[in-house]
Chains A and B, each alone.
Chain A
Amino acid sequence: MIDKRIASMREALTDVAPGSAVMIGGFGSSGIPFELIEALRQHGAGDLTIISNNAGVAEEGIAALLRDRLVRKVVCSYPRSQGSIWFERLFEEGAIELELIPQGTFAERMRAAGAGLGGFFTPTGYGTKMAEGKETREIDGRGYVLEHPLSADFALVRAHKGDRWGNLAYNTAGRNFNPVMAMAAEVTVAEVEHLVELGDLNPESVATPGVFVNRVVAQEGMN
């Protein structure tokens, strides 16, 4: 029997080792697995590489991981937002490494990892600093940059509904990076607002098929 349900957020993350690379879904405050991030903070493994579009605001989510100095490196497209005080403080101190990637390249690199591709040529960043040190090629008269797949040890994603096979459906724009991250990581843990019975999800509305998901945890209301 396939049953990917885990009883608690903390239990779902017990094997996250120090130094792990962890993808975290979401965009701004939308589609963010806040409970899993809080469980990761409590778990306490340090020296993490956090791969997520933003770097958290105020004391919430990823910002709390930064505040507790659990993060060595941030891989993202847009670390600075109104209220991203912890990222800005650590960056100014030189206490955190930043790998900045154009957002479309960021998403596609994860998709490539999940799709078994060795990389892809993108016009994004051609002729800019982002292309420095990378292979470039002219295809049909246009310049492209070779980008490599991006994977991770874990992906923490959030969905509106999920079942015990790991099928996931999202709420409005909460989908964003969650599907590509679920594909790209070694172990994908999904935080779901509602855990439903097999067959309750409309098959047409499943945006992440369960094959990409290893663990499913219902929200506990811990935040």
Chain B
Amino acid sequence: MQRLTPEQMAERLAQDIPDGSYVNLGIGMPVMVANFVPEGRDVIYHSENGILGVGPTPAPGTEDPDLINAAKQYVTLIKGGCFFDTAESFAMMRGGHLDIAVLGGFQVSAAGDLANWATDNEKYPPAVGGAMDLSVGAKAVYVLMRHTTKDGQPKILDECSYPLTGAGVVRRIYTDLAVIEVTDAGLQVVELHDGNSFEDVQAATGTRLLPPAA
């Protein structure tokens, strides 16, 4: 099967971010999306620690130790950007003021439930951060994740086995194999990445998929 690289996955998702969007990118693969939004689109990135208008990585030697993103990496502020405190930052999320949240995922269910904060390993500390607030508050939640785990187990399932981040919150799933939309009728494959058949992608999935329109 043809699997996209993480960069290609981020690039694919970036095509679906419209001009003028306010977007929050989660820790991990999602932050890479910012590198691939097509030229000419004005996208304003929100960071949970209190930034609207997150800009690119600073040149070495010009870092501001207080100016970091959610992943604790140094960033810059674009012209027109601003700062605020955490309570206001999460008011933006919960209050429905952000258009898109791109989150990583451990598992997504057929009903669009997302699990991405805790596993079933009790020795491994859970960490939720802003994921639950984003999942209920953003107007659209896109999940960017590999289609299967490192050992080949499906991550898209009838039901999540890990604790939920949000119930029925996911709009679209962008994986290394396909793009899948969560609809009332079920999980609709909207795009198969080059060379992958619907049957192959279905075989790598733990719940029933609807084939793309011919």
Chain A interface residues toward B at CB < 8 A: 27-31, 53, 77-82, 87-88, 91-92, 98, 100-105, 107-108, 110-111, 122-130, 170-180, 207
Contacts and interface: CB of A to CB of B under 8 A. Distances in A.
A175 B85 contact: yes
B130 A104 contact: yes
Nearest to A79: B125
B125 A129 contact: no
Contacts of B87: 107-108, 110-111, 179-180
B66 A171 contact: yes
Contact of B164 (A77, A129, A176): A129
Given A29-B65, A172-B64, A172-B83, A123 B137 contact: yes
Contacts, number: 136
A197 B48 CA distance: 32
B127 A80 contact: yes
A172 B131 CA distance: 23
A180 B132 contact: no
Contacts of A170: 66, 83
Nearest to A93: B123
Given A127-B167, A129-B164, A207 B85 contact: yes
A176 B49 contact: yes
Contact of A107 (B47, B51, B66, B86): B86
B117 to A, nearest CB: 8
B55 to A, nearest CB: 12
> Which 10 A-B pairs give the minimum distances between C-beta atoms?
A104-B90, A174-B66, A104-B133, A28-B72, A127-B167, A102-B132, A107-B86, A78-B129, A27-B49, A107-B87
